Amino acid sequence: MNRLRRPSWQRFLFEPRSVGPMVLLRVGWGAVTALWALSLLPDVDPFLTTGALRYERPTPDGAWNPLAGIGGSGAPLATCAVLVVAAAATMVGYRTRLTSAVAVLCLLALQRTNPTVFNSGDLALRLVGVAVALSPCGLRWSLDAARARRRLGCRWRPPPWRAPWALRLLQLQLALGYLLSAVAKLRGETWHDGTAVGRALRIEDLQRFVVPGWVLDQDAVVHLLTWGTVAFEASFVVLVWSRRLRPWVLGAGVLFHLGIDLTLDIGWFSIVMVLGYLAFLPPERADRILDRVERPVRAGAREPVAGSGHGLVEAAIQPPQ
């Protein structure tokens, strides 16, 4: 009865549920962020120091750069190296709260040092990281969880449920981001006349896989791609909340971003957006993925740890469904 009396928005944000989706997101985000930082290392000197390719742009009002008060040209390189370590530590779940926060701070510092060389994919990576840092994603599949089991003298115990407000904020951010992107496109003339995608695919500097010219000469194909893009982005914010339609919406999104990544060289944008889809993964499905890895640990949980003084931890115990 108390559950039914709570407002729906409170249940949406704070009703405890499995942390499985955020655990998978933590692992993926840590891996992608570490690779992102490694790919940036060779370009730190020309783009983030006082090299010839450094473009100075005034920092917007209210924007804070952690490196602003640090002298020396080695600060960006050191920050990038720290980011690699912090992201890798987040991926394996070592002191997850601290390392994920450090990684987000390093991303902020690097991106604020020279905003002209980063794009929306880089910014989306930081936004996903904020959700990871705010969530209890170190409770499973992590060194933190293993350390906690050792302190309690047992090899495995049912993972607790937590309020999913950090996960919900990320879901809302992704859904509203698509909507705002669609609104911005509708203000452009080329999106109204159906030629925007065709024009983008003809930009030589952005081409990764060159679409044959005869395909781009087909007005019906170009119009379908252009208006289909707007329709997908505008409808995502509504359709993704339906459990029945969600697999189809996310599947369409994966194909959408795969198409972008194959044809346009726009950095990490598509990878980060598909990574963000893990936030919409049903908890029971995420738990099944995690259980496959944790099954050997649970299988040995019937044996007490020597000298622990604790009783048996039954492997058959499962978290509530």
Instruction: Give the integer Cα–Cα distance in Å for 193 and 187.
Output: 11
Name the most confidently modeled range: 10-19, 69-78, 125-134, 199-208: 125-134
DSSP run (H or E) holding 14? helix 8-14
More confident residue, 293 or 5: 293
The residue to which tokens 């080695």 are assigned? 74
pLDDT in tens, 211-266: 888 888 888 998 999 999 999 999 999 999 999 999 999 999 999 999 999 998 88
Q: Give 320 or 112, the one with higher predicted confidence.
A: 112
End-to-end CA distance of the chain: 19
The torsion angles phi and psi of 261, rounded to 5 degrees, stand at -70, -35
* 139 or 89, higher pLDDT: 89
pLDDT level of residue 208 (50, 70, 90 thresholds): confident
Model confidence, pTM:
0.84
- What tokens appear for 100 in the block? 């994920």
| Mean pLDDT along residues 1-28 | 83
Res. 56 pLDDT band, cuts 50 70 90: low
Q: Tens digits of per-residue pLDDT, 86-124?
A: 999 999 999 999 999 999 999 998 888 888 888 888 999
In 3D, which of 162, 228, 220, 161 has the Cα closest to residue 191? 228
Q: Please report the pLDDT score of residue 317 as a whole number.
A: 32
Say what the pLDDT of residue 316 is.
32
Average pLDDT over residues 57-72: 64
**Could you tell me the residue ranges of all domains in the chain?**
17-163+284-321, 172-281
Neighbours of 235 (CB within 10 A): 16
Q: For the chain, what percent of residues have pLDDT higher than 90? A: 45
